Structure 1
């Protein structure tokens, strides 16, 4: 018997990880986490899976680190053959379940898709993703229709130095960046 429950879709789904494979014989699974730290995925007890038949909600029973990875037990799954049906699925949470941030702080997912212009008003493109580099995060800006050129730019995410303004309502970011660079 499957533990998947048909559910209405989350208001705004955000991928936080992936169920990669079966672990052991008691229905545990191996996980890949997109959260920082990676164990942050366990902060959310209700996960969503997008299946061919719609959204399914599952509940985390317990999770832990195992070697350099993560493993989890899902409520209702106690057999490796049954748990195979959810292997390979992305794990989503509802954005409304994310903790509130301080003013001026943003989740990466909030920045993706923002239109990026220089302080002089030159359109550079849109934020396609962010990368962690150690010293600081980097905004990856890809060209879009009407942009200055077709170049991809890597702009350090350093507020008040390179990132001058982020406006989520207008989906815009203003940067201090030379379009020729």
Structure 2
């Protein structure tokens, strides 16, 4: 499974949040990134980027190049060669259109594609909808919410998650509704 959060605005295609600019790197206008792709430098494969600053202003950027440098993911933006310009971008979020991502492999899912699906038990008991997923390190966890409660279900196939049916919009789980 691949983690990333998403959003959809108006009639626009769903966007995937892949990272954030965390500051300047060096003096030539390179940026340090927080990248949530795996591996971290895979973020450069998915373009164009839609950069959203803290005020909600958006800019589309193509041709961003980058590399790993120790513990940092470093990006070079076209036409930016000034450290101060990058520092002004600190906190800017990096989105890509969902269509920029390749199709997942058989039996794998992008978290964003699961969000909003109905969750039902193998007995047909409704548990709500997929709110989000998160990783614990040991395994991923699906969070199903309804009006009354939130359930955290390990995303372990086929033990707990028995099927995902995108056509029907349903994730079926082998889970006690009272748990």
1:128 Cα deviation after fit? 2.1
In the alignment, structure 1 segments of 5+ residues that lack a partner are 1-8
Pick closer, same or farther for the CA change 1:10–1:92 going to 2, 3 Å: farther
Q: Are residue 101 (structure 1) and residue 107 (structure 2) matched?
A: no
Larger radius of gyration: 1
Aligned to 2:22: 20
- Counterpart contact for 1:10–1:94, Cα < 8 Å: no
Q: TM-score, normalised by structure 1?
A: 0.81
**In the TM superposition, what whole-angstrom CA distance separates every residue of 1:75-104 from its partner, at most 9, and x where no partner exists?**
110011222343211101111111122333
TM-fit CA distance, 1:11 = 2.8
Contact 1:17 1:33 in 2 (8 A): yes
Q: How many aligned residue pairs are there?
A: 168
Q: How do residues 40-59 of structure 1 correspond to structure 2 at under 5 angstroms? A: 40-51=42-53, 52=55, 54-59=57-62
Counterpart of 2:90 in structure 1 is 87
Secondary structure in 1 matching 2:112: helix
Show structure 2 runs of 5+ residues with no match.
Answer: 1-10
- Of 121, 126, 149, the match for 2:124: 121
2:156 corresponding residue in structure 1 = 158
* CA distance in structure 1 between the aligned counterparts of 2:102 and 2:160, rounded to whole angstroms: 26
